[in-house]
Amino acid sequence: MPDGQELLQVFDLEKHYPLGSALFARPKHWVRAVDGVSFSIRSGETLGLVGESGSGKTTTGRCILRLTEPTSGRIVFDGVDLLALRPREMRAMRRHLQVIFQDPYASLDPRMTIGASVEEPLIIHRVGSRPERKVKVRALLEDVGLDPGFASRYPHEFSGGQRQRVGIARALALQPKFIVADEPVSALDVSVQAQIVNLLQVLQRRHGLTYLFISHGMAVVQHICTRVGVMYLGKLVELGETEALFERPLHPYTQVLRSSIPNPDPEAGRERIRPQADPPATAERIPGCPFHPRCPYVMEECRVQEPPLLEIRPGHKVACFLATSA
């Protein structure tokens, strides 16, 4: 697919989880983890998804891969309606859509050599003969900047950054078109984060990859994303080109997220953007704009009516009455 065409389209995605024990009774309350999200990703680009913990980023990524079944919505990948696929068809499709997790230690089996971990997707999808797979594993390790001789070693022998490289090699094994990178550097030392972000960029060019890059902070996405979507309580509240979003964020929530960047201490930054701990992850639906209880510019209409996500400049959408009435 030529760069610039839409590889992935997400329409009105919703995922509701029952709140509390749903074992014996029909749940009365639901968490709207993802609450009507629409966006698309062009081939060859990196779309960032930012927002504080609990805003629905991971659930969005998992729904796209169908690791979690969405409650409703439509997901079109490379012209295929993913939610219409039968399980067997989806399994075959999954080689084109891969995931990189935050914590490579948790996603790598400690009892398997890293060579075996990288080879596993090839075995599952019956790619190549045994000797061909061994050659492929060595090439994959080299591709992510690791010594191919490491194949016989175990995850505990490696640093966090090296383990994440193994996780990336594993995600690349089936030559996917699209990768969900869910906080891929959040668990790493700051000094290592840039190396892994760089590697992801190099691999993107080398293999023509398209990324959905999930992050709770905005600093990381600035360098890798073409466009960024901002999520708040399961909704997309702003979406635009990275530069526009950083230079002129329109949503007050985006402004809060951005204002936490200049602080060199990431812990302090995190504190500042979370003045009220986690956002209310309850079944209580906030009337009006979901951000209004925290918004410094709240107006009367914000308490009663929910602002729709509107394109107010070419390619720049925002869900805020202040921005759309200005």
Residues that bind ligand ADP (CB under 6 A): 17, 31, 33, 51, 53-59, 281
Q: At what angle do helices 160-172 and 190-207 cross, to 10 degrees?
A: 20
Smallest distance from ligand ADP to CB 13, Å: 12
**Could you tell which of ligand ADP, Mg ion, none binds residue 251, using a CB distance below 5 to 8 A set by kind?**
none
Contact 209, 46 (CB under 8 A): no
The DSSP letter of residue 58 is H
In the complex with Mg ion, the residue whose CB is nearer, 179 or 320, is: 179
The DSSP letter of residue 55 is S
In the complex with Mg ion, the residue whose CB is nearer, 184 or 240, is: 184
In the complex with Mg ion, the residue whose CB is nearer, 58 or 117, is: 58
Q: Which residues pair with 37 in a beta bridge?
A: 13
**Gap between the Cα atoms of 34 and 24, Å rounded:** 25
Residues that bind Mg ion (CB under 5 A): 58
Smallest distance from Mg ion to CB 171, Å: 17
**For residue 8, what are the contacts with CB-CB under 8 A and spacing of at least 6?**
40, 41, 64, 75, 76, 77, 78, 178, 210, 212
Tokens of 42: 């062009």
Smallest distance from ligand ADP to CB 306, Å: 19
Smallest distance from ligand ADP to CB 33, Å: 3
In the complex with ligand ADP, the residue whose CB is nearer, 47 or 140, is: 47
Helix, strand, coil distribution of the chain in percent, nearest 5: 40, 25, 35
CA distances from 89 to 26, 198, 230, 322 (A): 32, 34, 32, 45
The amino acid at 58 = T
**Could you tell which of Mg ion, ligand ADP, none binds residue 33, using a CB distance below 5 to 8 A set by kind?**
ligand ADP
Smallest distance from Mg ion to CB 303, Å: 29
**Could you tell which of Mg ion, ligand ADP, none binds residue 51, using a CB distance below 5 to 8 A set by kind?**
ligand ADP
In the complex with Mg ion, the residue whose CB is nearer, 58 or 242, is: 58
